[in-house]
Structure 1
Amino acid sequence: MAGHPQNEEGLTSSYADPQGEPFLLTRFAVPTRPATFLPRRRLTRHLDQALLTPLTMVNGAAGAGKTLLVADWVAGRDEPVAWLTAEGSGRSPGILWAYLLQALCVAGVPMPADIGCPADAHRVDRTLLARVAAHLSARSEPVIVVLDEYDRVTDPQIAEQLEFVVHHAGRGMRLVLVTRTEPLLPLHRYRAAGDMTEIRGAELAFTPQEAAVLLELHGLNLPMDAARALVRRTQGWAAGLRLCALAAQERPDAERYLKEFESDRTTVADFLLAEVLKRQAPETQDLLLRVSVLDRFCPDLVNALTGRTDAEAILVVLHRDNAFVEHLGHSWYRLHPLFGEILRAHLRVRDPGLRPELHRRAAHWLRRPGPLEQTLGHGAAAGDWEFTAGALVDDLAIGQLFTGRRCDDLAELFSGMGPEAASPAADIVRAARDLARSDLDRGLAHLHRAESNLGQEGESDQGAARLSCALLEALAARLAGSPDRAERAAAMAQHVRHEVPAGLLDSHPELTALLLAHVGSTRLWAGRFDDARAALTQAAGAPGGASTALPREDSLGRLALIDYLDGWLGRAERKAQEAIAATHRFGLPQPSGFGIGRLVLAAVAVDRNELDQAQALVDSVSASPGSMRDPVTEAGRAIATARLLLARGKPHAAVEAAEPAVRAEVASPWASGHTALVASAAHLAEGRPEAAAGVLHAAPDGQVACAVQAARAHLAAGEPGAAISLLETVRPEARAGPGVTVRAMLVRAQAADRAGDIATARRLLTQALREARRERLRRPFLEAGPWIRPLLCVAPLRGLAEGWLTPGAVPPGRTPGSPDRPAPVVEELSERERDVLRRLAEMMSTQEIADDLHVSVNTIKTHLKGVYRKLAVGRRTDAVRRARELRLL
């Protein structure tokens, strides 16, 4: 070539572009790091290994921060660094090697004159490469050669030539490739020999902590939660974070902008469309736009959406080239979240009518092999509601509208279903949604229309739909308080179960659990406790994890209510707590479902005279808009609320609250008995014992608690004989617990006290205290009246009351001859509180107690507050003194 004299081997004698063009010096320049660049030591430490291996590859998507990372690393190196940005020389071996030799010269590593320079843009003589390698191999220290934008190198010859030089240069050269794609080099050999250092996209991604520092460098001091959210959305993509930070600088509320920005209207969109989408062939661009409607996809699904047959090969290339297509394993892929958002927006503009059709194709393809969640999502997005409802019902997943992690999402998904969907499945879904809101009339209207249309269609494959109808019939019976209808629904479910494949039933344990819970609840309403317990126990033991958590909570709560009604506070409390834990451990809303467990805990708290706790529990259920309403729940609410109001001295309000707010087709004996109990207690509180006894005449037979309350009313009216006769006539059942038996003992003890039989009164009161103490049952003693106070102030009864019975049971004054000792504490100390109290007595500091018990200082402070409250003191010295008076130390 003119101006470039050649030697005998056809090589130019100076380092010049074989085409005669002057070298572009910018291609040798190490990129300048911006002022807001964040050095990341974890990555530069990894790059330090490049000095130990002949080949290093920094491979990531566009904007992943590859180039600036390597530029930051080489800035701290003492070794010579030859930097070359490949650009347009990737298809011309001669030009690339001419530039590479010039890069070595710029780096202070000139080649001897006899090596020469390529004279042909498209060819490099092997002897030149051998001379370069030999010269580099003789160096005492390595030269670092960085080839940036190596993904532009597409000529296989260049890869072979580089490998030759790297291999023969030995320790004299360390090659660093910065690339978006996998280089055409035998990487497997380098990896197997341990001769390669790699940094890939996952490692390049910013962590939330790094993102927070990057935002600070842009003048944005935001909470860590905001940084985490941005990292989730961008997946730590460096360019995305920087572009978002630059845009947020111009907004008055940067945190809100980073949380809510529309990705398609930002420089992020411009970057991705230009650097990723428009670099692809037109058919690949079309494929990417179409798959943007999918959360994840496989080649067969992509072919269904595109009408192509070669999706697998295209996806492999897109993933290999870091085109923001991530491989999930087992031939499944997904788009980078931001890239997907931008492509969807681009699709809406380019072809707005295509999206519903793509969703429809995806829904139908996913119907069998894909997850139901994705099938329903695409069906809804396509507006194909009959197909979507049919998929839900045919899969026997109707119970997922009531329980599990997705019930709210499903309710929201089907909220867009209009009246044009007229299939039985659509009506079944409508019925489920209405019944979930306790809208019985609308729910039954949809359900009966679905059942009618199912009968007209005459199809044989309707088992799932009929079983779904049976479940909804049982729920409707429960809401209506109709035990007979519930039993018919259960019989219908048993009849059609054989029409459903066993595998389908096994995969949806929530349906059986819900059905049992509904039937058990109606039996409970009817007062059939044994039958109810059988169904509810089976539902409470259902498998299925989160999918059956709500019916398990519901059933355990109702089992707790049965125990409470039978007078077993401890059992009721344990079951109610287990009920709440059933949903809590899966992160489901609290309170969820019918909320009966919390109402039982509230009623237990009232009987223990823990009124503030009871109020908080009642309020938590009342404040929950998602709780369903059925007669049992409302009766439970009435019990807790009315008893709480009675305990607070509000008898009129208690009577008003005692009637359940939901009407039922049949009356519940225990709910009716409770209403009478509250009215009777209100009359007694106002000094009308005759009226108190009279309201109980209409109470259902066999209500032991009503008989005990009637006996108490007779005793207050001056009729001890009638009271005792009533207790003798209606003896407590064998299953009755202290909540019933303690009250009966107190009536007998009061009658004995009035008769002057102090020994019998003390014996009965002693027995009552022992039974009540196990359950921490306090209200019966507070409601007993003044006769009990002198007896509780003397030994041995006082000892039985100490440590757990509220001071309200004993007057502040002293009876003649009673020992001058303080009243019992309000509430028994826990074991850990006793541990703390003992260490207080040893004059240990709060820190010393924390160290001794291996807990935090804050935990000790919490226990101290409990000790002070229960001992009614405000200082540690008073607590120790009080504890010694009560013989707790």
Structure 2
Amino acid sequence: MSNPDGRSRGASQVTPELRLSGAVPGAHRPPLTRTPAGAESPAHGTHAPGDAALSTPVTKVTVPPLGEQIIPRARLMSLLDDVVVHRPVTLVAAPAGFGKTSVLAQWCHRTDTTVGWLTVDAFDSDPRRFFRHVVAALQVAAHGQARDDAGPLLEIACRDPIGRWPRDAGWPDHHDELVRAIEALVEPMVLVVDDLHLLAGAKAREVLARLIRLAPGGFHLLLSSRSDPELPLHRLRLAGELGEVREHDLAFSAREIAELAALTGPSLTPEVASSLSALTRGWPAAVRMALLTVEDDPAPVYRLAGLQRGDLPLTEYLTEEVLGALRPDLARFVMRATVGDRIDAGLAEALHDGTGGAELLAEAARKAVFLAPEAETESEPSYRWHPVFASQCRAIMTERSPGTVQELHRVVANHWRTRDAAEAVSAALAADDPGLAADVLTERWPELLVRSDSGALTDLCERIPAPRSDDAEVLQLRAVGQLLDGRSADIAMSRARSVAGRLPARRRRRFELTDVLLTDFLAPGRPGPEEAVRRGRAALRDATDAPVARAFGHLLVGEAVAQLQRDPATALRHLREGAALAAEHQLPAIGFACRASMSVPLFMSGRLDEADALARDSIGRAHRTGQHWAGIVVPAYLTCSLADFWRDELVPARRSLDQVLRLATPRQAGYRLHAAVLLALIAVASDDAAVLDRARALAGVSAEAAPPYLVGFARLVDAIVAYARGNDELALAALTTTDPGERHPVVSLWEAEVSRRVGDVAGAATALARIPADRRVSHIDVAATLTEALLERDRGRVREAHHRLERALEVASPARIRRPFVERGADLRGLLHDHQAWGTGHLELVADIVARMQPRGDDHRRRSYWELTARERTVLVYLRSPMTTTEIAQALFVSSNTVKTHLRAIYRKLGAAGRRDAVRIATERHAL
């Protein structure tokens, strides 16, 4: 919003030279002098500013000057330009030290909109005084700009008819007069109200509330506060009419930190700037203090690179600007509550002697005392303190009362013991209680592992001091961390086993269960999943007094059984037991993982809707709680992709598959294999040869360590590839090389379909008969029944074919299964059309299926079609036109010889004698 020549004519109209020198904005404006009645003001004809402006201290209604060390913040300037222009009210809310005033002053200096500035102080809680100052800020701005449309505004006197100040700032005459004066403005005007958190009086806030409700479109309020003010802003927020600039907007970026450092001396490398950004979270006050600490250092960059949060000299600032602005009881609570980085209502109560802490926490959150809500959790809401603020408060507390700080750390450790192992261990170590830290870690470690937080597990193990660091279970967990980090853990495991005999009986049983889980499910060289499941189930029966480890064991066993895809009932039983233990012993990550994993055996049981709902709920929870990046959501994504595929929703199915392939951990190879098979099916449905090749590669890798049962499932991808390229014999060979007793139902379905298509009716019937009755669930049953219907039709038993088709429709309808019908479209379309006349109770479903069927047969899946390159297919399209070879070359921006080369390849691959023959063959195969 600046002028083309780069100069601004805003509230201050300072030149660039004046800005650099730190001159006070507004110094060049026409002086605010009283004009005798009837005399002409040099600035505004007959209008001089009213009594409100003349009786208000200039510093309250003047844009603050810019300091010398001000960096241009173009990102924020653009943001303010946008929100101020498009929103009637903009709220700039952030804790102390985030540079709100500085940023707003920068924006005022560069905007070409008339800006009135009002700095609030504690005395403005008197509504008469505050109303007068609002009027004064607007009058000063209008007078300084020589606004011709500001006459009514400058005439507001804020006095009653006999010259006294009004008793009440809510006096309707003056409020209405102000609103009418703003309505008379032709050009836009902005009123900045800074330090709004100091405005305590409800009647004073009503002055602003009325302006928010009644001010016309050309008037904008720009409110700056340390917390959300008690004003009617929520209605504006819901209507999209509230602009908001928050802490994360005001925080310095690494680039801005480097620019600020350059003004004070040191030139920072991008790495050091990023490190300082992470250290301070971009808090401008902390960044400036960090730069001040190295101002006279001979090696400032080196010093900054090793700076810790406790090194920042913010004690005075926090004491005066933040804690000093709070009520004494709230300030005391904040000092005690910042002993840890994270807090919830229960911990607030414990830290505040058991009463009133939750209310004080809620007040601190409302006032935004460097407190931000965490992602949604399964239990009560929790918050995190700004790390620099918390570390500085701890430093103050440690200096004043080190014994109290240690005791508070112990309170924090015990509170988080059953909620957050990492937080509890860190607090116990801070309390100088390594025994408590080791106890928490050895009991609650599965939670860290399930959250894919092996790095935290390793770090916490290394922080346990001697002699507890030589504890068998601590050594065992060290080995777990090393394994998951890809390192050898043989030495750590040998040491752990050698001293395990010293453990008490209960801990020794827990150690033995963990040893089995580690060896059979996590370690390299682990046995196959079937053997791991057998050993895991035996170990679980023997360790009844280790509930956390047992919950983790049930998760691992249940997940392994689910990936074997043969016994969904057993998988569900283990996962439900794990979820029940997790709920009983407050293990949210394990409970979440068990519920997400249950969606797969539920799907295998044919309960599509239940499985899909559970999977989507799990994914939603993962996003809300920040766990969407972890392997625990892989089974939920797989279930979603399965449900979408069988419902013929291929695009969302592909999106979910991408997440499975991106997030799957080594122990989830079975899920990855299933994803590869689905990807191959989707590739064939969408004629995507590149994706089909990718699916084949993924299946090959996943099948290397798969049990015999899943090896046959992996070979299904080879069959799909062969089928897509028109080689039915090779497809059948890939499907029939596995032991019939170890065949996945989907493999038998494919064998039956390919056999039917090549005319092997007996082979198709035999393949279908291999599907066990208990595995012929919903989606499997629909596909098998459709193949049976087509076999009956081919035998001439049309009535029986229609009966089978109607049964398939009945099963498919409630679960919205569509894909088996669409896959058999070429052969099934005629039977479906006849079925409508034959009589069906599912006319809408039949109509939907027919609409989904591609108007082509399966002849497009011929080797020649799949071998055409993308450019050859483009040339093939042009062959339908009367264009010559030269014209095709010009259209494709290639030479005629290149087009002729493509033509020879097309004729060879299609077996065509020439151009017309190639078009005919391609049309018959639906490649055009």
TM-score (norm 1): 0.51
Cα distance in 1 for partners of 2:823, 2:516 equals: 47
1:617 deviates by 0.9
Establish whether residue 393 from structure 1 lines up as the match of residue 441 from structure 2: yes
* Partner of residue 431, structure 1: 479
Cα distance in 1 for partners of 2:319, 2:835 equals: 90
Cα distance in 1 for partners of 2:427, 2:614 equals: 41
- Aligned counterpart in structure 2 of residue 517 of structure 1, from 555, 564, 568: 555
Cα distance in 2 for partners of 1:735, 1:683 equals: 26
Establish whether residue 69 from structure 1 lines up as the match of residue 110 from structure 2: no
Establish whether residue 610 from structure 1 lines up as the match of residue 649 from structure 2: yes
Query: Which residue identity is paired with 2:570?
Result: D
Question: Mean alpha-carbon deviation: is it higher for 711-720 or for 611-620?
Answer: 711-720
* Partner of residue 757, structure 2: 716
Partners of 1:618 and 1:641 within 8 A in 2: yes
1:207 deviates by 1.8
- Aligned counterpart in structure 1 of residue 799 of structure 2, from 747, 751, 759: 759
Partners of 1:781 and 1:788 within 8 A in 2: yes
User: Aligned to 1:796, what secondary structure does the other structure show?
Assistant: helix
Cα distance in 1 for partners of 2:766, 2:730 equals: 19
Cα distance in 2 for partners of 1:335, 1:792 equals: 64
Cα distance in 1 for partners of 2:776, 2:813 equals: 16
Cα distance in 1 for partners of 2:608, 2:506 equals: 51
Query: Which residue identity is paired with 2:529?
Result: S
* Partner of residue 299, structure 2: none
Cα distance in 2 for partners of 1:726, 1:403 equals: 40
User: Aligned to 2:340, what secondary structure does the other structure show?
Assistant: coil
* Partner of residue 659, structure 2: 620
1:452–1:688 distance in 2 versus 1, CA, 3 Å = same
* Partner of residue 377, structure 1: 426
* Fraction of identical pairs, as percent: 19
1:598 deviates by 0.6
Cα distance in 1 for partners of 2:657, 2:561 equals: 24
Cα distance in 2 for partners of 1:475, 1:572 equals: 25
Query: Which residue identity is paired with 1:717?
Result: V
- Aligned counterpart in structure 1 of residue 849 of structure 2, from 793, 802, 805: 805
User: Aligned to 1:593, what secondary structure does the other structure show?
Assistant: helix
1:668–1:387 distance in 2 versus 1, CA, 3 Å = farther
* Partner of residue 684, structure 1: 723
- Aligned counterpart in structure 2 of residue 495 of structure 1, from 528, 538, 542: 542
1:695 deviates by 2.5
Cα distance in 1 for partners of 2:759, 2:456 equals: 62
Cα distance in 1 for partners of 2:319, 2:441 equals: 45
Q: How does 1:62-461 map to 2 (within 5 A)?
A: 69-73=121-125, 76=128, 206-208=226-228, 224-227=244-247, 258=283, 261-262=286-287, 264-265=289-290, 269=314, 271-272=316-317, 294-295=339-340, 341-342=391-392, 375-378=424-427, 390-394=438-442, 396-403=443-450, 410-411=456-457, 414=460, 417=463, 421-434=469-482, 439=486, 442=488, 446-447=492-493, 449-455=495-501
Structure 2 unaligned residues grouped into runs of 5+: 1-55, 65-100, 102-118, 131-164, 168-223, 234-241, 252-256, 268-272, 293-312, 325-331, 343-363, 372-383, 858-928
1:400 deviates by 2.2
Establish whether residue 633 from structure 1 lines up as the match of residue 671 from structure 2: yes
Partners of 1:568 and 1:736 within 8 A in 2: no
User: Aligned to 2:637, what secondary structure does the other structure show?
Assistant: helix
Cα distance in 2 for partners of 1:546, 1:224 equals: 41
- State how many pairs are aligned: 573
Partners of 2:793 and 2:801 within 8 A in 1: yes
Q: How does 1:737-776 map to 2 (within 5 A)?
A: 737-776=777-816
* Partner of residue 712, structure 2: 673
Structure 1 unaligned residues grouped into runs of 5+: 1-28, 38-64, 79-140, 144-203, 214-221, 232-243, 280-286, 298-318, 327-333, 814-889
Establish whether residue 661 from structure 1 lines up as the match of residue 706 from structure 2: no
TM-score (norm 2): 0.49
Query: Which residue identity is paired with 1:294?
Result: V
* Partner of residue 627, structure 2: 588
Partners of 2:746 and 2:780 within 8 A in 1: yes
Query: Which residue identity is paired with 1:574?
Result: A
Cα distance in 1 for partners of 2:587, 2:502 equals: 33
Query: Which residue identity is paired with 1:641?
Result: L
* Partner of residue 706, structure 1: 747
* Partner of residue 359, structure 2: none
Query: Which residue identity is paired with 2:601?
Result: I
Compute the RMSD of aligned alpha carbons: 6.3
User: Aligned to 1:786, what secondary structure does the other structure show?
Assistant: helix
Cα distance in 2 for partners of 1:605, 1:365 equals: 48
Cα distance in 2 for partners of 1:456, 1:546 equals: 27
* Partner of residue 221, structure 2: none
Cα distance in 1 for partners of 2:396, 2:661 equals: 47
1:811 deviates by 2.9
Query: Which residue identity is paired with 2:227?
Result: T
User: Aligned to 1:402, what secondary structure does the other structure show?
Assistant: helix
Query: Which structure would you say has the larger Rg?
Result: 1
1:31 deviates by 12
User: Aligned to 2:542, what secondary structure does the other structure show?
Assistant: helix
Query: Which residue identity is paired with 1:398?
Result: W
* Partner of residue 784, structure 1: 824
* Partner of residue 560, structure 1: 599
Cα distance in 2 for partners of 1:411, 1:294 equals: 22
Partners of 2:595 and 2:614 within 8 A in 1: yes
Partners of 1:594 and 1:633 within 8 A in 2: no
1:667 deviates by 0.8
Partners of 1:540 and 1:556 within 8 A in 2: yes
- Aligned counterpart in structure 2 of residue 539 of structure 1, from 578, 581, 586: 578
Cα distance in 2 for partners of 1:556, 1:379 equals: 31
1:515 deviates by 1.7
Cα distance in 2 for partners of 1:667, 1:71 equals: 78
User: Aligned to 1:224, what secondary structure does the other structure show?
Assistant: strand
Cα distance in 2 for partners of 1:713, 1:632 equals: 25
Query: Which residue identity is paired with 2:640?
Result: L
1:515–1:273 distance in 2 versus 1, CA, 3 Å = closer
User: Aligned to 1:782, what secondary structure does the other structure show?
Assistant: helix
Partners of 2:719 and 2:730 within 8 A in 1: yes
Deviations 1:31-71 (A, max 9, x none): 9757469xxxxxxxxxxxxxxxxxxxxxxxxxxx9x97344
1:376 deviates by 1.9
1:339–1:784 distance in 2 versus 1, CA, 3 Å = closer
Cα distance in 1 for partners of 2:454, 2:437 equals: 16
1:431–1:360 distance in 2 versus 1, CA, 3 Å = farther
Cα distance in 2 for partners of 1:460, 1:594 equals: 33
Cα distance in 2 for partners of 1:274, 1:766 equals: 78
Partners of 1:593 and 1:627 within 8 A in 2: no
Cα distance in 2 for partners of 1:756, 1:492 equals: 57
Deviations 1:445-489 (A, max 9, x none): 644542332225678765655555455456427975434344434
Cα distance in 1 for partners of 2:739, 2:575 equals: 24
Query: Which residue identity is paired with 2:574?
Result: A
* Partner of residue 853, structure 1: none
Deviations 1:724-750 (A, max 9, x none): 3554x4364145123222222232232
Query: Which residue identity is paired with 1:377?
Result: S
1:490–1:781 distance in 2 versus 1, CA, 3 Å = closer
1:337–1:68 distance in 2 versus 1, CA, 3 Å = farther
